C-alpha cells in the first residue's frame, strides 16, 4: 500500500554497501524502509576492500567501526616501491588523531556480514532474490516491479543497485552506460602463512609496486589472509565467459609472466592465490541528473568510481549517511532533499571518480626508461606533497546531529 501519512516509507533497491548503510541510517532517523536485493545472501561474495578513514567515520556513526577494525586489518601507511623493492615513498594513511578513524582492509564478505547482522538486529526488512525490473510513479507514491512478478509500493525509491543500475534507466531512459576504463582488475586472497616474507610493516600498509610491465598491490585483510590486486590493460572488456574462467593455472601463468621478477612477495602471492578474481573495470564520470520524481540514485549507480581510487565504498557510505540526514531534516519534501543531495555531493564524488581514472593510467605498461623517470617523479612528488594532496578526501565528515 502507498503510504499517505507524513512519514515516508522508502524502497531501497540493492542490498550492497550503499543500500545496507542507508537502511541503517534511515532507522536512526526514524524512517521506515525495505531493502530489495537481486541475489540470495552471499556469505563469500567478492573481493576485498580497503575502507578509507572517511568511510570508516561513516561506519563509526553506525557503531560498527570498532568491530570492523578488530576483524579487518588496520592500515597505517601507503608504501610505494619500484619493482626491485626500493621504497619510493611512505606516506601516513591511518592517522586517527587527524581523521578520527584508520583505514581498514577487509573482505567484502566481512563487511556484508557486519552490516547485515545490524540490519537483522534493527528489524529492517530485507527481501532477497528480488530483482527490480521497472518502476511506476504516481502522484501519491512509487511502485517497484520485480522479475518474479511481485511488486511493492512506497513514497520514494532509492536506487542503490550498483554500476549496472536498472533504476538509472528509469531516470535516464535514453541510456547511459558505464565506460570501460581499459583495465581488467585481477586479484585474490592468500593465506598469510604462505607469505612469511611479509613484514609487520607490510601488513599494516597498503603496498603498491610500480614496474615497467605494470602495477602490483597487496595488503593484509581479515581472517589471516592477505590480498593482492593488479591491472591488466585491455582495449576491450573481457567476455563474460573469459571472466568466469578463473582457472588458477591460466591466471598464475598470465600474472607470473608479468610479475615474476617483481620484488619480494609478488610471485609468492600469485602462486598461493585462493579464489582468484577478474573483473572489467568501468566507471561513471558524470550523469546529467541523479533523480527524477520520487526516485534517486546513490553509490555506484550514480557515480561508479574505479577501484584505483580506493574510494567507491566510502563514497557509497557517505551518500547513505548524508541522504538519511537530509530526509530526516527535510521530512516529506523529497524533491528538495533530492535536489540538495545531488547539489552537495556531486562536486566531491566526481572529483574522486576523475582521480580514480587518472591513477589507473599511471599503472600502465611503459618502457624501463619511462618507468624509472615515472618512479623518480613519483618519489619526489609524494615526499613533497604526500598526504596533503589527499587530506581533503579522508578528512570529510558528516555531522549527524
Provide the binding-site residues for ligand FAD, judged by CB under 6 A: 13-19, 36-39, 47, 49-51, 131-132, 160-162, 166, 185, 279, 299-301, 305, 307, 310-314, 316
Q: How far is the CB of 198 from ligand FAD (least distance, A)?
A: 18
How would you label 227-250 residue by residue, b for 16+ Cβ within 10 Å and e otherwise?
bbbbbbeeeebbeeeeeeeeeeee
CB of 14 to ligand FAD, least distance (A): 3
Question: How far separated are the first and last CA of the chain, in Å rounded?
Answer: 32
Nearest by Cα to 115 from 74, 63, 40, 161 = 63
Q: Cβ closer to ligand FAD: 154 or 307?
A: 307
Rounded Cα–Cα distance for residues 7 and 29 (Å): 11
Q: Which is closer to ligand FAD, CB of 17 or CB of 255?
A: 17
Rg over CA atoms, the chain = 21
**What Å distances lie between residue 22 and 31, 309, 342, 347, CA to CA?**
11, 22, 16, 21
Q: Which residues contact 124 (CB under 8 A, 6 or more apart)?
A: 23, 24, 27, 33, 34, 35
Report d(CA 45, CA 190) in Å as an integer. Answer: 16
313 with 49: CB under 8 angstroms?
A: yes
Q: How far is the CB of 301 from ligand FAD (least distance, A)?
A: 6
- Give the nearer residue to ligand FAD in terms of CB position, either 13 or 266: 13
Kindly tell me which of 211 and 360 has the beta carbon lying closer to ligand FAD. Answer: 360
Pairing of strands 151-154, 32-36: unpaired
**Shortest distance (Å) from residue 84 CB to ligand FAD:** 26
Q: Judge contact between 241 and 278, C-beta under 8 A.
A: no
Q: 193 φ, ψ to 5°?
A: -65, -20
Beta carbon nearer to ligand FAD, 116 or 311? 311
The helix or strand, by DSSP H or E, that contains position 296, with its residue range, turns out to be: strand 295-297
Output 78 or 371, the one with its CB closest to ligand FAD: 78
The residue assigned the cell 578526501 is 393
In the complex, least distance from residue 46 CB atom to ligand FAD, rounded to whole angstroms: 8
CB-wise, 264 or 299, nearer to ligand FAD?
Answer: 299
Provide the minimum distance between the beta carbon of 323 and ligand FAD in the complex, in angstroms, as a whole number: 12
Minimum separation from the CB atom of position 26 to ligand FAD (A): 15
Closer Cβ to ligand FAD, 315 or 327, answer by number: 315
Kindly state the helix (H) or strand (E) to which residue 341 belongs, with its residue range.
Answer: helix 334-361
In whole angstroms, what is the distance from residue 155 CA to residue 140 CA?
A: 7
**C-alpha to C-alpha distance for 387 and 86, rounded to whole angstroms:** 20
Whole-number minimum distance, CB 77 to ligand FAD, in Å?
A: 16
| Separation CA 53–CA 37 (nearest Å) | 27
The DSSP code for 5 is: S
Q: CA nearest 36: which of 138, 117, 150? A: 150
Smallest gap, in angstroms, from Cβ of residue 346 to ligand FAD?
15
Q: In the bound complex, what is the minimum distance in angstroms from residue 149's beta carbon to ligand FAD?
A: 14
CB of 131 or CB of 328, closer to ligand FAD: 131
> Closer CB to ligand FAD, residue 118 or residue 300?
300
What sign does the dihedral 163-332-320-46 (CA atoms) show?
negative
Amino acid at each position: 500500500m502507498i503510504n499517505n501519512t507524513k512519514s515516508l516509507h522508502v524502497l531501497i533497491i540493492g542490498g550492497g554497501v550503499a543500500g545496507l548503510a542507508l537502511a541503517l541510517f534511515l532507522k536512526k532517523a526514524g524512517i521506515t524502509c525495505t531493502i530489495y536485493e537481486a541475489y540470495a545472501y552471499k556469505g563469500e561474495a567478492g573481493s576485498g576492500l580497503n575502507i578509507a578513514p572517511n568511510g570508516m567515520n561513516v561506519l563509526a556513526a553506525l557503531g560498527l567501526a570498532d568491530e570492523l577494525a578488530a576483524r579487518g586489518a588496520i592500515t597505517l601507511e601507503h608504501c610505494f616501491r619500484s619493482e626491485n623493492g626500493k621504497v619510493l615513498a611512505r606516506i601516513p594513511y591511518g592517522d586517527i588523531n587527524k581523521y578520527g578513524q584508520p583505514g581498514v582492509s577487509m573482505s567484502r564478505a566481512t563487511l556484508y556480514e557486519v552490516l547485515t547482522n545490524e540490519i537483522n538486529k534493527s528489524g529492517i526488512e530485507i527481501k532477497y532474490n528480488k530483482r527490480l525490473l521497472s518502476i511506476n510513479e504516481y502522484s501519491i507514491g512509487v511502485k517497484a516491479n520485480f522479475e518474479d512478478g511481485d511488486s511493492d509500493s512506497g513514497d520514494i525509491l532509492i536506487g542503490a543497485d550498483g554500476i549496472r543500475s536498472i533504476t538509472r534507466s528509469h531516470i535516464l531512459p535514453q541510456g547511459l552506460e558505464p565506460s570501460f576504463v581499459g583495465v581488467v582488475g585481477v586479484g585474490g586472497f592468500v593465506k598469510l602463512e604462505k607469505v612469511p616474507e611479509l613484514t609487520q610493516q607490510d601488513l599494516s600498509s597498503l603496498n603498491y609496486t610500480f614496474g615497467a610491465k605494470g602495477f602490483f598491490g597487496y595488503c593484509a585483510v581479515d581472517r589471516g589472509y592477505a590480498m593482492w590486486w593488479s591491472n591488466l590493460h585491455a582495449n576491450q572488456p573481457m567476455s563474460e565467459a573469459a571472466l568466469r574462467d578463473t582457472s588458477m593455472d591460466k591466471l598464475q601463468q598470465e600474472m607470473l609472466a608479468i610479475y615474476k621478477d617483481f620484488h619480494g612477495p609478488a610471485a609468492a602471492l600469485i602462486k598461493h592465490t585462493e579464489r582468484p578474481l577478474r573483473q572489467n573495470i568501468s566507471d561513471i564520470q558524470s550523469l546529467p541528473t541523479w533523480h527524477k520524481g520520487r526516485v534517486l540514485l546513490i553509490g555506484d549507480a550514480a557515480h561508479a568510481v574505479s577501484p584505483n581510487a580506493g574510494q567507491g565504498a566510502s563514497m557509497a557510505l557517505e551518500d547513505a549517511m548524508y541522504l538519511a540526514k537530509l530526509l530526516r531534516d527535510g521530512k516529506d519534501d523529497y524533491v528538495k532533499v533530492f535536489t540538495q543531495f545531488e547539489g552537495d555531493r556531486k562536486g566531491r564524488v566526481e572529483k574522486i571518480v576523475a582521480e580514480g581514472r587518472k591513477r589507473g593510467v599511471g599503472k600502465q605498461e611503459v618502457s624501463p626508461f619511462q618507468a624509472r623517470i615515472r618512479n623518480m617523479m613519483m618519489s619526489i612528488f609524494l615526499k613533497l606533497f604526500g598526504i596533503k594532496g589527499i587530506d581533503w578526501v579522508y578528512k570529510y565528515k558528516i555531522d549527524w546531529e
